[in-house]
Structure 1
Amino acid sequence: MVTKEEVMEKVKAVVDEKYVKGLEIGEDGSVTITLSKDTPDIDNVLIRLNTELQKIEGIGTITINRERDKQVDDNAEVTREMILEKLKEVIDPEIGVDVVNLGLIYELNIRPDKTVYVKMTMTTPGCPLTMWILRAVEDKILEIPGVKDAEIELTFDPPWTPDRISDEYKKKLGLY
């Protein structure tokens, strides 16, 4: 069983404790960390935190959130199509194709409180840009008026394959 102390030790090796606003450990070994919105060098912190936490035996899903102070327009409509269009702005820099057309988005739900849940994957479990892409997905979703929050879950089950690429991009990439 993963302990809070064990996780906090790894976290403090990466970021000053004053920027850690929350730490939860689930019974399944999942870890949720909430960082202050003013955490310096956030991209580097996200990558290093993810790398360090993966070293802990028995750890499950890793979720790293940032504090939000966004005002939500309760009257704004939020649709699945709007979100998918916005996510097409997140380009995998190594491949040059967006996360939607790459087939990285496995599930997308808009909850009644206007929190958007996305379950997604990477092209490989060792993708060095994982945390950057996850953050970009979260940031793009939060740009949509009416979205209260974004919850991004990373999964590798089922593993991604090139079959998941949209037909349009299979043609552009010469996979047909």
Structure 2
Amino acid sequence: MVTKEEIERIVREVVDEKFVKSIDVDDKGNVTVTLAKDTPDIDNVLIKLHSEIGKLEGVGLITINRERETQEGGENVQLTKEIILEKLKEVIDPEIGIDVVNLGLIYELDVRPDNTVYVKMTMTTPGCPLTMWILRAVEDKILEIPGVKDAEIELTFDPPWNPDMISPEYKKKLGLY
């Protein structure tokens, strides 16, 4: 199984130590790294960390978090799935030019009693080079909503995405029917 020392070595190679807030490795090899919110070049750091940690033997689930600022004034906001889905329409897949909601990438959405938002989503292909960027954009948009305490994004490829998952409106725009 992977050790915390191995993870710390990889993290130090990728990002300056002053931006690392915590590193945890559990008994199943699941890795959680939390970075400072002001970590420079965060998109590249996230992708490189995920890639380099994934090369280690015995690594389970890799979670890379960023510190977040607490939203003020959202205590009395009633969060709904509709509000969150509307916000997620602002996340556009840059390769296809369609938002993640109308593209059919959002499989499940749940607003928990503590105002944590859970999203289960996919990518158009398992090898999508923009996976980390899109996941981060989804998380960032959710966290912009007043009243949201936290966002938990789960990536799945079961079932695999296919063009039938595109919304009817966008299928028409794309000439798919």
TM-score (norm 2): 0.91
> Which residue pairs with 1:92 in the alignment?
93
Q: Offset of 1:26 from its aligned partner?
A: 3.8
What CA distance in whole angstroms lies between the structure 2 residues aligned with 1:138 and 1:20?
19
- Gapped regions of structure 2 (runs ≥ 5): none
AA matched with 1:7: I
> Which residue pairs with 1:129 in the alignment?
130
> Which residue pairs with 1:160 in the alignment?
161
Q: Offset of 1:17 from its aligned partner?
A: 2.0
Could you tell me whether the CA contact under 8 Å between 1:63 and 1:152 is conserved in 2?
Answer: no
Q: Offset of 1:113 from its aligned partner?
A: 1.2
SS in 1 for 2:153: strand
Given the superposition, is the C-alpha separation of residues 155 and 59 from structure 1 closer, same or farther in structure 2, using an over 3 Å criterion?
Answer: farther
Q: Offset of 1:116 from its aligned partner?
A: 0.8
What CA distance in whole angstroms lies between the structure 2 residues aligned with 1:90 and 1:3?
36
What CA distance in whole angstroms lies between the structure 2 residues aligned with 1:156 and 1:31?
20
What CA distance in whole angstroms lies between the structure 1 residues aligned with 2:109 and 2:67?
22
SS in 1 for 2:79: coil
> Which residue pairs with 1:68 in the alignment?
68
TM-score (norm 1): 0.92
Q: Any residues of structure 2 matched to 1:1-176 within 5 Å, and which?
A: 1-72=1-72, 73-176=74-177
Given the superposition, is the C-alpha separation of residues 173 and 28 from structure 1 closer, same or farther in structure 2, using an over 3 Å criterion?
Answer: farther
What CA distance in whole angstroms lies between the structure 2 residues aligned with 1:106 and 1:2?
31
Could you tell me whether the CA contact under 8 Å between 2:22 and 2:34 is conserved in 1?
Answer: yes
Runs of 4+ that moved beyond 4 A: none
What CA distance in whole angstroms lies between the structure 2 residues aligned with 1:92 and 1:60?
27
Q: Offset of 1:139 from its aligned partner?
A: 0.9
AA matched with 1:128: P
Could you tell me whether the CA contact under 8 Å between 2:71 and 2:146 is conserved in 1?
Answer: no
SS in 2 for 1:10: helix
AA matched with 2:52: E
CA RMSD of superposed structures (Å): 1.6
Could you tell me whether the CA contact under 8 Å between 1:61 and 1:154 is conserved in 2?
Answer: no
Given the superposition, is the C-alpha separation of residues 53 and 79 from structure 1 closer, same or farther in structure 2, using an over 3 Å criterion?
Answer: same
- Gapped regions of structure 1 (runs ≥ 5): none
What CA distance in whole angstroms lies between the structure 2 residues aligned with 1:167 and 1:46?
34
Mean Cα deviation higher: 126-135 or 67-76: 67-76
